Amino acid sequence: MKDAATQTIYLKDYQEPHHWVRDVHLTFRLAPRATRVLSKITFVPNVQNPGDLILDGEGLRLIAVAVNEAIVPYQVTDTHLVIKSGDLPTAPFTFEAEVEISPQTNTALEGLYMSPLNVEAPEEGERESQPGQNAMYCTQCEAEGFRKITYYPDRPDVMAPFSVRIESDMPVMLSNGNPGAFGPGFAEWHDPWPKPSYLFALVAGNLINHPGGFTTKSGKQVELNIWVRPGDEGKCAFGMQALKDSMAWDERVYGREYDLDIFNIVAVDDFNMGAMENKGLNVFNSSCVLASKETSTDANFERIEGIIAHEYFHNWTGNRITCRDWFQLCLKEGLTVYRDQMFSGDMRSHAVKRIEEVLTLRARQFREDNGPLAHPVRPESFVEINNFYTATVYEKGAEIIGMLKRIVGDEAYKKSCDLYFERHDGQAVTIEDWLAAFADTTGRDLAQFKQWYSQAGTPRLSVEEDWQDGTFTLTFTQSTPATPGQSDKKPMVLPIAVGLIGPNGAEVVPTTVLEMTEATQSFSFEGLGARPTASILRDFSAPVVLEREMSAKTRAFLLAHDTDPFQKWEMGRMLAKDTLIAMIMDGTPPANAYLDAIKTVLTDDSLDPAFRALTLGLPSQDDLAQTLYDAGVTPDPDKIYAAREEVRRILAAHLREVLPALYVENDAGAFAPDAEGSGKRSLRLSALSLLTLSDGGATARALYKRADNMTEQAGALQALLSAGLGEDELADFAAQWQDDRLVMDKWFMMQVASAAPDQAADIAKSLTQHPDFTMKNPNRFRSVFGALAGNHAGFHASDGKAYALLADHLIALDALNPQTTARMSGAFETWKRYDADRQGMMRDQLERILATPTLSRDTTEMVTRILS
Ligand code: PHE
Ligand code: ZN
């Protein structure tokens, strides 16, 4: 028999709960190792599905239970508290419980925990170790953390209003909803909007607020706050502006208004993910909200703006309308990612944003879809739901929304969303409900489209062209490779955005969306004067791999003439990829066609600097490895590394005359974290990175010294490190920033990320001995081991040292923090791409991890799937 802890849960088994919740009253008596949680919950028997009262609960010390203020028989296991239906009233009843929990030793960062943690045992005779000056209480309940706080039906379809009372001597005590009574030692909060338990939050600590305000379109005043630890209050202004922009955008674009008197954001240093959309009380990993020009890069600013928007947008897509069960996770995440992407595009540049989105989609989601962890956007089963907060659910989930919008059109999209909000406000719903709003609005049958939610794998799309008597015909063929548990794939609905360019470079047919539904399908364009060149999959209109035979000449032609910025970039990308692959395969040097095309784009002042920088960027080593593997070639990480370095040197030499000017002319002047400034800095730093290969590092050293912002300081250091230089600057950087946790994360990360292949594991290992390294802070752990896994040649060094080092640390981390361990084990997901030696070494490490006694359910599931 299977252990309950590793049981598989199936979508098809969904059943309504036996009881609904009418309201919840919680009292917290906070203490580091003995917090008392008193709950008073009104349950309403579900006449549709009568049965026992089943409450989730884990790691709770139960003090007392009562039903309607009387003693009742109940059963408690490690995971549940059950009261038999025969022992319960048939009418609504109150359930009361008191439990004790220990936030200070909660290293999993799920449920109620303290940041920073203090897991040292109290001294003998000491009753309770006191939290440090800066320690704060914090909760994380998604997906199933509330059950570590008290007994409750911890499932998203159970929605209820919450009243919370917090008792402690912390100066600031926050929970969801609107503030109620407060005084010395206590604070009360009431959240009138019914919500599932995963959106519950509580924060208490010595925090300082950066205040702000917003007036909603119907004239309601909302108090805004970003709460941080003393010392961080100077890093909140940018996040506050992003929040106001998000609120205005959601009103303007989706007609969605904020619905409470107050909106609080809290920054916490110890956090497993980026941020969390708890109702009215968003909790952020401090790396995703704190920003200043001295300590944050342009990429940080952009990410912070996007995440603030994302969490805020969840207020409607996730909170007011939530998921019936965790299989529907993409209902809130895919839609909310899509919304934050559109927001960022509006705030910055849609063209640049789209290219960045495709880069991450390919790097993370295509990688996942191509390996043993491939799963549908709506999975049909899971062991641990935490393992499904994936690129597939989030990023491919967002692509599905984009395709749907492209198919139905902007106006119908808006109408359908309005219908969805109107119909389902206050409900916990499914993908079927979401699609029904579209089907009902447009009269379309979306049955085939729905396969995007159930069929895993990245479709391959090939195309053939025909030209006859003024008619140009494109014949597309699609197929989706088998993925774990899914061998037969059906044709998908593919919106293929196409434009045609005439021989003189002028567009003869503007962007047209072809809706492909068959395995093979032809589309014709009539009445053309001359054979055109097709621009296919404009704006990356579907998340597919386009397999298209194209000469370098055609690519260069489209790179020069395509009106679609994504395709224009893509053509440069393909040229670069072909160049690198040829170099890897047999040392063929780059063709001048490629080098000149890049030079032309780089020096074209009519193009956005950010776009030019993106065009100069080479495909990653991981991307090249996958491309080789797809072509039936076993990737050799050393060769890939060497070829990429060689192409960088050749580019640097070929562009020698233009790099200094690019560097000088793209000085953005006074720092502003906007699209214009960041675009210039990114082109400038791309130029610097190549320039450093030929000038001995002089320019980079000078910039490092002079820089008044982190983008340029870190960019200069990075340029030096990737050229094998920068030792002094690295030491200087640590001396300057030793007291800034987030900047020191960069210091740890950069060294490992840019280490030479034969040194990466040793450098990572020595950094784990650094006094500032800690396994308990996920950001710090990720900055070393995320960087190691991302250093392709270093991770796959043939001595296998990096594999073993990562495995050692995953085993150690699993005992503290299963969620982050499981997530990081994805570093091994591509193991089957490589040669037998490397495969063997990776398999050995995965098996060693799996053989660890008491390995968590999270990591067990991940490693088992990776090995399968
Ligand atoms: N729901 C969060 C988001 O996407 C992510 C998250 C999941 C955070 C689980 C913490 C834990 O915005
Ligand atoms: Zn989200």
pLDDT of residue 131: 63
For the ranges 114-123, 298-307, 844-853, which has the lowest average pLDDT?
114-123
CA dihedral 301, 304, 306, 311 (to 10 degrees): -170
pTM for the model stands at 0.98
Answer yes or no: 100 catalytic. Answer: no
Block residue for tokens 């008596």: 29
Mean of pLDDT over the chain: 97
Q: Which amino acid is at 248?
A: A
Q: In terms of DSSP bridges, do strands 428-429 and 322-323 run parallel, antiparallel, or are they unpaired?
A: parallel
Section 806-816 average pLDDT:
98
**Does 126 have pLDDT greater than 90?**
no
Catalytic residue, chosen from 311, 333, 356, 384, is 311
311 lines ligand 1 (CB under 6 A): yes
Q: Report every protein residue that has its C-beta within 5 angstroms of ion ligand 2.
A: 333, 336
**Half-sphere exposure for 398 (CA within 13 Å, toward CB):** 20
Residue that the structure tokens 């224009």 belong to: 568
Among 276, 311, 328, 332, the mutation site with the greatest number of ligand 1 atoms within 8 A of its Cβ is 276
Residue spans of beta strands (DSSP E) within 526-678: 533-536, 545-547
Residue 740's CB is within 10 A of a number of other CB atoms, namely 19
Q: Percent of the chain, pLDDT > 90?
A: 97
Question: Residue 141 Cα, ligand 1 centroid: separation in angstroms?
Answer: 9
* pLDDT(284) > 80: yes
Asked whether the beta carbons of 371 and 458 are under 8 A apart, the reply is: no
**What is the predicted pLDDT for the residue at 124?**
59
Is 90 exceeded by the pLDDT of residue 665? yes
Tokens read off for 739: 């007291």
Residue 68 token pair: 């309607």
Pocket test of ligand 1: the residue of 277, 287, 317, 384 to mutate, having most ligand atoms within 8 Å of its CB, is 277
Whether residue 283 has its Cβ less than 6 Å from ligand 1: no
Averaged pLDDT for residues 517-541: 98
Is residue 2 over pLDDT 50?
Answer: no
Does residue 142's CB lie within 6 angstroms of at least one atom of ligand 1?
yes
Over range 733-747, report the average pLDDT: 98
Contact 56, 147 (CB under 8 A): yes
Round to whole Å and give the CA distance between 516 and 108. 46
* Per-residue pLDDT at 120: 76
Secondary structure (DSSP) of 335-386: HHHHHHHHHHHHHS-HHHHHHHHHHHIIIIIIHHHTSTT---SS-SEES-GG
Per-residue pLDDT at 292 exceeds 70: yes
User: What digits encode the pLDDT tens for the residues 626-637?
Assistant: 999 999 999 999
| pLDDT higher than 60, residue 1 | no
pLDDT of residue 130: 62
Closest atom of ligand 1 to 143 CA is: 9
Residue 526 above 80 pLDDT? Answer: yes
What is the predicted pLDDT for the residue at 125?
56
Two structure tokens written together for 85: 């239906």
Counting beta carbons within 10 angstroms of the beta carbon of residue 506, is it exposed (0 to 12), middle (13 to 18) or buried (19 or more)?
exposed
Per DSSP, 504 falls in state T
Phi, psi of 321 (to 5 degrees): -120, 120
Query: Is residue 302 within a helix (H) or strand (E), and if so which, with residue range?
Result: helix 298-313
